[in-house]
Structure formats: C-alpha cells, structure tokens
Amino acid sequence: MRVLIVEDQVTLADDIADGLRDQGMAADVAYDGASGLEKALLNRYDVVVLDRDLPKVHGDAICAALAGSYSEARVLMLTASGTVGDRVEGLNLGADDYLVKPFAFAELVARVRALARRSPASPPVVIKDDLVFDQARRRVSRGGRPVSLNRKEMGVLEVLLAAEGSVVSAEELLERVWDENADPFTHTVTVTLARLRRKLGEPDLIETVVGSGYRLP
C-alpha cells in the first residue's frame, strides 16, 4: 500500500509518514499543496492523507482536482475544524473520510487501511490456490501453514495478487511497495522476491516473465 501525506506541519507530516512505514506502508510526503497535487497526479497512491489548510494550493482544491481526475486514490482529509458543516463541505468536495486534529495515530492507521480496502478490486481476504492472504489482519498462510513475511514481502505479494495474473514489472513493484526515496538501480526488488519465494515454499507460485516482470498465474 502506498500513501501520500500532504501536510505543511513538517514534524507532523514526518511523524505520520514514519508511523505508516512502521505499519508496513510506503509513504511519501509533500509539505505544501502545489507539490502535493503534483505528486498525487504523477504517482499511483492508494490513499492520500490531505491537510485542508495548505499553502500554495488549498486542500479543498486538491481534493476537487483528484475527484475529477483519473486518480483512484482515496482521500482522508485532515483539518483542525471539526464542525458538521466543515465535514460535510469536505465530503462534498470528494473526500472519502474526514479526521479532525488532534487525532490518535491508531485511528488514522485504521482509517487509512479501511479506505484502501474500499476498492472492489481489493477484497479483505484473497485466495490463490492454497495461498490465503488476509489483508485486513495482515496474515498469510499456505496450505494452512502460517507464513511470516516482513512488510516489503507482504507488499510485493499484495501487488502481485491484485494484478490477478497480469505481469507486474520490477519498476511497478518498486513504485507500489517502496516510497519515492527508493533507489531504482538497486536489486532490492529481486532480493525481496527471492525471500518471498523461499518463504512461500514449493511449488513456486511466482512466475518470472523474462524481460517483463513477475506474475501469479
């Protein structure tokens, strides 16, 4: 899961990003509305955590732009204003959820996960042959045996399952599972896939399509 945090309070933005990364998510940060809108339209995100009162481009304008674009990202709007009128206005702009500052981080995480699961293409439990991936509980098993995966391995598996047999390139895996600070010239995707294959066991579920990428046929 990849999340964009658009928040002009630098410490708060960084704290949210670090906390989400600890939860196994890839997190990018933008500290003003202009860079936030650019990143949101340029990259593919599952959820955008969007402060409302932003410099350069207001959060309302970003929300409306995303709602009217091709972006499939869900928007969780943050604001210091908690009146019913404010919440209704934000939701009418296209926000999918609304969280008032100050907030408990555990609630933010729960809402981000709930928004990411809202897509029909991302059911809570995915079954592929004898592999079961409970996305809500972040648990994987194969043949009834629990499989312990780290966050990146689980992220790669999640993307491959969501592709439903289509080929996913190493570049797309890097974009979807790692954040914008990932080095595109490293072998991190190859190494993560090798560990994932080893943990899932035989027969190998992941097919390498030479010159193209990987898939779960």
pLDDT per residue as tens digits for the range 116-140: 876 544 566 788 889 999 876 788 9
Structure tokens at 167: 């080929």
Give the DSSP H or E segment for 4. Answer: strand 2-6
pLDDT at 120 (0 to 100) = 45
Contact 104, 78 (CB under 8 A): no
| Complete domains list, the chain, with CATH | 2-116 (3.40.50.2300), 125-215 (1.10.10.10)
Give the DSSP H or E segment for 75. Answer: strand 74-79
pLDDT at 215 (0 to 100) = 94
Distance, in Å, from the CA atom of 127 to the CA atom of 113, rounded to the nearest integer, reads 19
Q: What is the pLDDT along the chain (217 residues), one digit of tens a residue?
A: 889 999 999 999 999 999 999 888 889 999 999 999 999 988 889 999 999 999 999 999 999 898 888 788 999 999 887 666 666 776 777 889 989 889 999 999 999 998 987 654 456 678 888 999 987 678 899 988 999 998 889 989 989 998 888 999 988 888 888 877 777 667 888 999 999 999 999 999 999 999 899 999 8
Backbone angles phi, psi at 46, to 5 degrees: -80, -40
Tell me the residue ranges of DSSP E strands in 93-187.
Answer: 97-100, 125-128, 131-134, 139-142, 145-147
Q: Which residues, at least 6 apart from 211, have a Cβ–Cβ distance to it below 8 Å?
A: none
Per-residue CA distances from 26 to 1, 69, 208 (Å):
6, 22, 24
**Measuring CA to CA, which residue among 76, 83, 69, 67 is closest to residue 6?**
76
**Is beta strand 131-134 parallel, antiparallel or unpaired with respect to 97-100?**
unpaired
Contact 159, 177 (CB under 8 A): yes
Number of other CB atoms surrounding residue 183 within 10 Å:
9
Structure tokens at 111: 């809402």
Backbone angles phi, psi at 201, to 5 degrees: 85, -175
- What's the gap between Cα 85 and its chain centre? 29
pLDDT at 121 (0 to 100) = 45
Its pTM surpasses 0.75? no
